[in-house]
Structure 1
């Protein structure tokens, strides 16, 4: 399975999504990438996003941005973006991607709904995620409307902290919902990567 994160410039939010999920799924065959609807070629990650990742032990120094193409979108099995406008841009560029392109918060909510209602199927993480994608047209009207994860570019470190925490929270919800023994009343287990704590970064500024 190929999961792609898409934001606008591919230097702030989508790199955090890519590198966080890559850490979570390090022991699987899932491929995780990212791109931007207006991404510039080969730019480094934004320094503030790099600090967010550094704080949880993820080295982002080798990351380079890229611009989304139709071929990239069509090569993915699941595209996760951060704003409703981005989803519109993606499916305009690659109409066939409409079936597997979601806002991150929307897909996380659908995963949780599917888990609570016994709709997740399959033995592998790939199969279980695919079962939610396949049921998405049924599930989407039954979950709350998704909220954008705001672009922090050009803002202070607290905006990056908020974007990182919202991204990580959605990823944790998504992955906890994919557990083979999901229990409705159980508190979601944390994946191997602990929730980032960015308080020290804010106080440093």
Structure 2
């Protein structure tokens, strides 16, 4: 399974999503990547995002930004973005991706709902995530409206901490909902990221 995180510049939020999810899913066959709707090719991770990842033992120095292409979006199995406008930009670029592109918080809410109502099926993490994706249009009316995770770019360090914690919390909610038949260790990174 290929999971892609998408933000705007691919230097602040989506790199943190990629690095955190990759860390949690070490040892699985899931591939995690990221890109930006207006990505800055080969740009390193923002120093504040890098500092936060380094603070929880996740190496970030090798990260480089990419600009989202239609091929990248078409090749993904699950795209997680941070703002409603990004979702619009993604599905405009790659219309077929509409079925598997979600705001990160929206998908976390869907996973919670499916887990609470015994709707998550399959034995592998890939099968279980796919079962939520398949049910997404049916359960949307039952879950809260999703909230954006604000872009901290060019802002104070505390705004990066907020974005990192919101991203980490959503990822942990997704993976916790998948745990019935697949043990995903969530202890490797603190639930609150603080540098």
Q: What is the 5 A alignment of 1:64-79?
A: 64-79=64-79
**Partner in structure 1 of residue 160 of structure 2:** 160
Once the two structures are TM-superposed, the CA of residue 141 in structure 1 deviates from its matched residue by: 1.3
Equivalent residue number for residue 134 of structure 1: 134
User: Given the two structures, how large is their TM-score scaled by the length of structure 2?
Assistant: 0.96
Q: Is the 8 A contact 2:80 2:104 kept in 1?
A: yes
Question: More deviation in 60-69 or 172-181?
Answer: 172-181
RMSD (CA atoms): 1.3
Corresponding residue SS for 1:129: helix
Segments of structure 2 that go 5 or more residues without pairing to the other structure are: none
- Measured in 2, the distance between the counterparts of 1:33 and 1:154 equals 23
Q: Secondary structure at the match of 2:79?
A: strand
Corresponding residue SS for 2:176: helix
- Structure 1 length-normalised TM: 0.91
Shift of the alpha carbon at 1:194? 2.4
Q: Report how many aligned residue pairs link the two structures.
A: 193
In structure 2, distance between residues paired with 1:83 and 1:197: 21
Deviation at 1:27, TM superposition (A): 1.2
- Report the structure number with the largest CA radius of gyration: 1
Moved over 3 A (4+): 189-192
Q: Give secondary structure in 2 for the equivalent of 1:151.
A: coil
> In 2, distance between residues paired with 1:181 and 1:38?
38
- The alignment partner of 1:112 has SS state of helix
In structure 2, C-alpha distance between the alignment counterparts of 1:192 and 1:129, rounded to whole Å? 21
Q: Report if the CA contact (8 A) 1:22-1:32 is conserved.
A: yes
